[in-house]
Amino acid sequence: MAISDTLKAISDPVRRQILELLRKQSYAAGEIASQFELKPATVSYHLKLLKEAGLITERKDKNFIYYDLNASVFEEVLSWIYSLKMGGEHDEQK
């Protein structure tokens, strides 16, 4: 929920690719996992981090879990970057 979690989440290339996958549509965990040369458990770990950062939401249907992108979380990152670009003030971070 903090900018720290967001930036940590997108610092990993696997997690960025997951977000890119979800750009257009939802996918079930298994469909996401099949895109990588990683075990489902590993992808599940990445999904958990993305979920904790608020970058994706989950939705259960049958015994599938579908994931959706939530790009609104990026607002905080954008304003942090803008504040640097503009040399203006900005909320402190802990």
Partner DNA sequence: ATTCTATTTAGAAAATAATCAAAATAGAGC
Partner DNA sequence: GCTCTATTTTGATTATTTTCTAAATAGAAT
Question: Which residues here bind DNA, judged by CB under 7 A?
Answer: 8, 11-12, 14, 28-31, 33, 37-49, 58, 60, 62-65
Verify binding: residue 41, a second copy, rule CB under 8 A. no
Neighbouring CB atoms inside 10 A of 60's CB total 9
Characterize the bridge pairing of strands 64-69 and 27-28: antiparallel
Verify binding: residue 57, a second copy, rule CB under 8 A. no
In the bound state with DNA, the residue whose beta carbon lies nearer, of 12 and 68, is 12
Give residues with Cβ within 8 angstroms of 18, minimum separation 6.
32, 43, 46, 47, 50, 56, 67
Residue 68 binds what, of a second copy, DNA, none (CB under 5 to 8 Å, by partner type)? none
Residue 71 binds what, of DNA, a second copy, none (CB under 5 to 8 Å, by partner type)? a second copy
Neighbouring CB atoms inside 10 A of 25's CB total 9
Amino acid letter for position 87: G
Among 20, 31, 52, 68, binds a second copy (CB under 8 A): 20
